[in-house]
Chains A and B, each alone.
Chain A
């Protein structure tokens, strides 16, 4: 019993998909060249003209875009159409500099929601279902993306947004929710809360969950499936490319099908930028084939993964990507928020601290813990406990305002954080997510 939202695409032959991609890329490159001066400059500098791109095989000639480009071009530099043609903005949680602000035309939103509809259908969703969306609604893409997809499928949609677990559970039980959309850690938390309230997994009507926006393991999948009595599906996406739904899992649960008719995926060597042969591990690069508001070509995601064109038992022919196996930069995802060590360093230096610090990330009771150990300088030391604690509080507030989440600050004596001879070990991630 296989469900597809758009079988003509999802089960199309390789040749049919290539034909679609080849037609789109020629138009899209010309569109970007004509509408995005920032990218036109990059192409000119590299000596590539729109006419040089005749098929997806030529994509490798195009220059890459990175987060640095997004920062440089912030806020309108990569906009692909007049603002009056755009109907929405979404953004990542970072502060200026690291924040990504993306623009959407109505067509962009329709395409994105269609991608999410494919994901929901692959998870067994139909118009008979009640889909509870507890991703955050707002600038974050999670809530609106799955919400739109759910409505496209025809599910009765519960726009819960995140938080207020008691209310989530009440609606889940009273409205007989059958599909749950949230971060995997929140799903695990809901599972625990249900058990605490005395509900057995078979007492809820849930059958499937679509969980993304943060890394999670196979072990976590099994634990969520058991605690909620569901099948748990992964979903992948990033604000730069629209949001969740760029790739989605089917019932085989062995990787995520990329919506290749809208996004062309490449795997490159993160050091040389060379495109790697299929099946090799490297950095994932996406080219948006349709987007008009924020049309990124060859965007480096920094996610390390493997593409696999093996036959899938679900019948879909779309290429599959593994869960991200790591990052080619030092970005961490903590409680769904992107955090870079460089942001932490900036705050420390601004507040008069030395750059001697260590970040420890762990996951306890399915929630990420985030601790920063910071050396204070001898002049900062006070015999008054209150003064030292105020220092910790001030630093925590400054971190929260920079990062969007508040770490626990631990002041430690000067020269106590281990110095290494080579590269300093700034981050200890005990979550073993990859």
Chain B
């Protein structure tokens, strides 16, 4: 079960990230994970939030936004945990477009977000190897 990442286009000028985060904050939404990819001209904000619909509404005035399914894999917050996941994917020839990680609400747990082309297959492979993957419900539930 994939989770939904929101991707937003940001012009590479001072204040655009602030404006986006402000809008999300004012909508009362918590950002669970965030990463920004940047080029000389523009950036792409990638976020996992507690409320997808509210976030989309909050950002729709200022930028273009899209939903991207990604895999969030739970791992232990210790050395070697990420390597283990990457090893599984490498063995199965899964190409990773991009990746970012965040630590969990509970001490000792961490999560890695993976953007891959063959999402369903990759998730099955990880599950088969005993890895726990999250669903959108998990992301909102954390806050409740």
Contact = CB atoms under 8 A, between A and B. Distances in A.
B27 interface: no
Contacts of B39: 385, 388-389
Interface residues of B, number: 18
Contacts of A392: 41
Given A381-B66, A383-B7, 13 more contacts: A381-B7, A381-B9, A381-B65, A382-B7, A382-B66, A383-B46, A384-B115, A385-B98, A389-B39, A392-B41, A412-B42, A413-B63, A414-B64
Contacts of A402: none
Interface in A362-391: 376, 378, 381-385, 388-389
Contacts of A382: 7, 66
Interface string A414-428: 101000000000000
Contacts of A413: 9, 11, 63-64
A379 to B, nearest CB: 9
B86 to A, nearest CB: 19
A394 to B, nearest CB: 15
Contact of A385 (B5, B11, B44): B44
Given A389-B39, A411-B42, A383 B68 contact: yes
A410 interface: yes
B7 A388 contact: no
12 contacts: A378-B66, A381-B65, A383-B5, A383-B115, A384-B98, A385-B98, A388-B42, A411-B41, A412-B11, A412-B42, A413-B63, A414-B64
A376 B42 CA distance: 13
Contacts of A412: 11, 42
Contacts, number: 41
Interface residues of A, number: 16
Interface of B is mostly: strand
A374 to B, nearest CB: 11
Q: Which 7 A-B pairs have the closest CB atoms?
A: A383-B7, A383-B68, A381-B64, A413-B9, A378-B64, A385-B37, A413-B63
B92 to A, nearest CB: 21
Contacts of B46: 383
Interface of B: 5, 7, 9, 11, 37, 39, 41-42, 44, 46, 63-66, 68, 97-98, 115
B107 to A, nearest CB: 31
A414 B5 CA distance: 21
Nearest to A416: B11
A381 B9 CA distance: 8
A383 B66 contact: yes
B20 to A, nearest CB: 11
Contacts of A411: 41-42
A388 B5 CA distance: 18
Contacts of A378: 64, 66
Nearest to B68: A383
Contact of A388 (B11, B44, B68, B115): B44
A414 to B, nearest CB: 6
Contact of A383 (B11, B42, B44, B63): B44
A369 to B, nearest CB: 14
Nearest to A386: B97
Contacts of A381: 7, 9, 64-66
A388 B98 CA distance: 14
A64 B115 CA distance: 62
Contact of B97 (A384, A389, A416): A384
Contacts of B41: 392, 410-411
A385 B68 CA distance: 13
A382 B65 CA distance: 9
Contacts of B64: 376, 378, 381, 413-414
Nearest to B66: A381
Contacts of B9: 381, 413
A377 to B, nearest CB: 8
User: Considering residues B46, B64, B97, which has the most beta carbons from chain A within 10 angstroms of its beta carbon?
Assistant: B64
Contacts of B68: 383
Contacts of B37: 385
Contacts of A388: 39, 42, 44
Contacts of B65: 381
